[in-house]
Amino acid sequence: MNNSNRKILVCCGTGCLANNSFEVYTKLKEKLKDTKIAVQPLVKATGCNGLCEKGPVVKILPDDISYFKVSTKDVDAIVEKTILNGEIIDKLLYYDTNEKKKLISHKDATFYKHQQKISLRNIGEVDPLLIEDYLERDGYKALRKVLFEMTSEEIIDVIEASGLRGRGGAGFPTGSKWRTCYKYNNFPKYIVCNGDEGDPGAFMDRSIMEGDPNTVIEGMIICGYAIKSHKGYLYIRDEYELARKNMQIAIDNAKKHGYLGENIIGSNFDFDLEIVRGGGAFVCGESSALMASIEGNVGEPRAKYIRSVEKGLWNQPTILNNVETWANIPPIISNGAKWFKSIGIENNSGTKVFSLVGKVKNTGLVEVPMGTKLRELVFDIGGGIIKDRPFKAIQTGGPSGGCIPKEHLDISLDFDSLSNIGSMMGSGGVIVMDDTTCMVELARYYMEFLSEESCGKCTTCREGIKIMLEILTNITKGEGELEDIELLLDLSETISNASLCGLGKTAPNPVITTIKYFKDEYIDHIVNQKCNAGICKKLTSYYIEEEICIGCGLCAKKCPTNAITGIKKEPHIINADICVKCGACFTNCPTGAVKIGGVVVESKN
Amino acid sequence: MKVKINGKLYNGNTGETLMELAKRNNIYIPNLCHKKGFEGQGRCRLCIVEINDGGKTKIVSSCVYPIKDGIEVSTNSDKIIKIRKNIILLLLLRTPNNDTIKSLAKEYNVDIHYKYLDNKKKENCILCGLCVEACDKLGTKAISLVNRGTTKKVSTPYDDASKDCIGCAACVEVCPTDAISIDDKNGKRTIWNRTFNLVSCSICGKYFTTYEALKYTDDKLNIEKENQICNSCKRKEISKKFKESFKNTY
């Protein structure tokens, strides 16, 4: 076997690390050292490969073999069989649930086939700590191009023509943001990277910072050169320890190699970057609160009637973009606006990274062209719902977004289509829900989240969310009234109209959309005192349908409180007094004989 | 700069907020967190108005909105009244026994018989932040807004007796809802978990401030005063002097 150009890439993203991928990486290195091979293959620890569900991931190049769910026990076999003898280890291959077969290369998997990677292009392929890896994949070429061949106007023209819109949530055109800031002759100007990803279930910015920090740095320097700024800040939430570490190493290495600091690669342009640790407040993802936090003040938003491109950080013109937006800048400069515009759909060019989580088979990080259909994301890439249960809804955009029911499964995933139906793109978090999700409880959950994470500055957001949470809690306890639904909508209107910042204005979205698309569930909770998903425990009871039960006894076996009794092959009975409503019988029954009832125990016995 | 408010044209100055322009022209916009001498904060949300800017209508808070030429403002449209009523309701749910909020609720016909209203609640603070602004302006910075979300409150660090507080009661002075507990008794003042000795006026003998507050201002102004005179005696003294100076002129 020729090992001179062989590479073994071990995913060391957060998800895989949690499953001991670093141990796999070190053991692989040790094992290879002990093995007599003339030319040692290169072993690299990379960033996230996206399919976190099936981690740790080990890829062998150029053979293009991908192993999933690799543990330290598999290391010997990988070296002895695959590296030394070119044999493929069948049990470590990826099983594609859509194609119903095992695959040698991950690239053939339905999960990866539909994807197109721009901002994630290097992740999983490079060692994030080595600037050489980035340079090998055309890193800092775009920077060289702008520094020596382009003027500020030319750079801004390209970004504007590419149609890139801010990937942080609102989708504001990046080029026009840069142009406005460029026009102000007020110096110093600042560049800020928003790395305060806070939506529950979202981790795309984290993966980029961990897996390809140089692309963010390059994007920021390009913008700095375009608008004549010499200082940038990376605001990274404190919980993202690995992201901060990798980012700092990348900054230090970039300085050493002359890509940051004074006289960047001999161009006379100076630019410096500094990491600011965020305290982990959700509201600090809002641009003006984030800037207040960098300045050392309480992270409260301000009214943005004067935009931060005019008066931002320390009241100076500031460009703030999120991590994913920055990661798109170098490829756009290198490949041109036309190339970027050719991807995606009109007014929504390029790709978008989604973090696909919830009740979906393939959870992970996905980058698809804008305009991809939701159905494709959930059923092709995501592989459908776990245990093939019925799809109920997806939630996009985190607490500011909304729920999308199955009627809208064919919606195009882009900024405009999503906001048209009351949801929003947000940072790209997609939570998939099946029939065991209660939509009232979901709305309540988000209100609870926001009651802790709202900054509390303005009356409508702080007090409005508090009372909405109270009303929703009552409904989930079976103490709601029909008027409460109208009241919730009335309060939502006030909060979205009168709140100070974007977070407050969008805070009622989960409530508004669940009422819009799942009003029946609200009514069920209030009038019928029943939670069909079996989530609101006060409104749930389980019973066994006598005609369907085959008496297999699985439910009784799974019941943690021994509440189910019955003779083999005869219908079983649930004792409501002992039942703790955990739902184990419901999810485990092979014939669907276990039914969910309301507050009153429905039983024929 | 010309701004139309409720159908009438007014001349505005560059940099002026909508609230300032309205106040200058005696147009009433309800507000709780705005005060002369303090910059707009946009916290209480009561001052929201509807503006039409080149055909686009939007709701803005007038205390922080810098006026633009040609905008049309409505301070009392049906939509604004409806939302404002709800804002007052939200404040009332927070402070059901506060007189300021209760009278606002009455003014706007907000239904007080509301099932989520807890009449036993003793809260009076609406988190307008004026006390914090006042303390900040004075330079003492003894209190601040702490926590976030629904647990936000005004407090000293760790709720302890603040070593920075001088007991000047500027916070009490600016509070729109009388929410700050202050107790002046037997020559002592208790405020923000700390007790101060009060100073009596060398003319009328009334207690009027704390030693710490006097020392703080004297140090700042770099002066040394022998007699401490209260504000009302100070006014009397000044008017006496004023009168005498007139006597000498004529």
* B14 interfacial to chain A (CB closer than 8 Å): no
State the nearest Cα–Cα gap between B65 and chain A, in angstroms: 6
Supply the pLDDT for residue A36.
Answer: 82
Q: Which stretch of A9-13, A81-85, A363-367, A597-601 has the lowest confidence by average pLDDT?
A: A597-601
Residue in A41, A154, A51, A63 with CA at minimum distance from that of residue A112: A51
Supply the pLDDT for residue A400.
Answer: 85
Of B65, B86, B91, nearest to A491 by CB-CB distance is B86
Query: pTM of the prediction?
Result: 0.90
Contact B83 A497 (CB under 8 A): yes
**Chain B residues close to A460, C-beta within 8 Å:** 45, 86-87, 90
Asked whether residue B88 carries a pLDDT value surpassing 80, the answer given is: yes
Of B65, B83, B93, nearest to A498 by CB-CB distance is B83
Q: Which stretch of A410-419, A450-459, B109-118, B150-159 has the lowest confidence by average pLDDT?
A: B109-118
H or E stretch covering B182: strand B182-185
Is B139 in contact with B213 (CB distance < 8 Å)?
A: no
**CA distance linking residue A413 with residue A485, whole number of Å:** 29
**Chain B residues close to A300, C-beta within 8 Å:** 145
Asked whether residue B75 carries a pLDDT value surpassing 90, the answer given is: yes
Percent of chain A with pLDDT over 90: 78
Is A337 in contact with A154 (CB distance < 8 Å)?
A: no
Helix (H, G, I), strand (E, B) or coil at B138: helix
Of A302, A453, A467, nearest to B90 by CB-CB distance is A467
Asked whether residue A603 carries a pLDDT value surpassing 60, the answer given is: no
Cβ-count burial B58-90 (b if 16+ within 10 Å, e if not): ebbbbbbbbbeeebbbbbeeeebeebbbbbbbb
Q: How confident is the model at residue A604 (pLDDT cuts 50, 70, 90)?
A: very low
How does pLDDT run across B121-133, given as a tens digit for each residue? 999 999 999 999 9
Asked whether residue A1 carries a pLDDT value surpassing 60, the answer given is: no
Asked whether residue B71 carries a pLDDT value surpassing 90, the answer given is: yes
The two three-digit tokens of residue A106, written as one number: 């991950």
Contact B149 A459 (CB under 8 A): no
State the nearest Cα–Cα gap between B141 and chain A, in angstroms: 13
Long-range contacts of A173-181 (CB under 8 A, 24+ apart): A174/A321, A174/A325, A177/A309, A177/A319, A177/A321, A178/A223, A178/A226, A178/A227, A178/A319, A180/A307, A180/A309, A180/A310, A181/A227, A181/A309, A181/A310, A181/A317, A181/A318, A181/A319
Supply the pLDDT for residue A605.
Answer: 42
Q: How confident is the model at residue A76 (pLDDT cuts 50, 70, 90)?
A: very high
The dihedrals phi and psi of A367, each to the nearest 5 degrees, come to -120, 120
**CA distance linking residue A510 with residue A446, whole number of Å:** 7
State the nearest Cα–Cα gap between B86 and chain A, in angstroms: 7
**Chain B residues close to A453, C-beta within 8 Å:** 148-149
* B86 interfacial to chain A (CB closer than 8 Å): yes
Contact B145 A458 (CB under 8 A): no
Residue in A13, A15, A14, A10 with CA at minimum distance from that of residue A27: A10
A214 or B227, which is more confident?
A: A214
Supply the pLDDT for residue A63.
Answer: 86
Q: How confident is the model at residue A331 (pLDDT cuts 50, 70, 90)?
A: very high
Beta-strand pair A573-574/A594-597: unpaired
In this structure, how many other beta carbons lie within 10 angstroms of the beta carbon of residue B124? 18
* A471 interfacial to chain B (CB closer than 8 Å): yes
* B42 interfacial to chain A (CB closer than 8 Å): yes
**CA distance linking residue A490 with residue A486, whole number of Å:** 6
The two three-digit tokens of residue A562, written as one number: 């021994």
Task: For residue A443, give the amino acid letter.
Answer: A
Cα-to-chain-centroid distance, residue A232:
25
A110 or B247, which is more confident?
A: A110
Asked whether residue B171 carries a pLDDT value surpassing 90, the answer given is: yes
Helix runs in A102-236, H state only: 110-113, 131-136, 141-149, 152-162, 174-183, 204-211, 213-227
**Torsional sign, CA A414, A419, A423, A427:** positive
H or E stretch covering A195: strand A190-195
* A342 interfacial to chain B (CB closer than 8 Å): no
Interface A-B, measured as beta-carbon pairs within 8 A, has a size of 103
The two three-digit tokens of residue A335, written as one number: 């490949």
The dihedrals phi and psi of A138, each to the nearest 5 degrees, come to 65, 20
Of A281, A303, A464, nearest to B61 by CB-CB distance is A303
Contact A459 B43 (CB under 8 A): yes
How does pLDDT run across A262-313, given as a tens digit for each residue? 999 999 999 999 999 998 889 999 999 999 999 998 899 999 899 999 999 9
Angle at A430 between CA A424 and CA A433, to 5 degrees: 115
Contact A456 B152 (CB under 8 A): yes
The two three-digit tokens of residue A292, written as one number: 């207040």
A87: which residues sit within 8 A by CB, 6+ positions away? A81
* A475 interfacial to chain B (CB closer than 8 Å): no
* A501 interfacial to chain B (CB closer than 8 Å): no
Supply the pLDDT for residue B39.
Answer: 83
Helix (H, G, I), strand (E, B) or coil at A276: strand
Check whether the bond before A56 is cis (ω within 30° of 0): yes
Of A305, A464, A467, nearest to B66 by CB-CB distance is A305
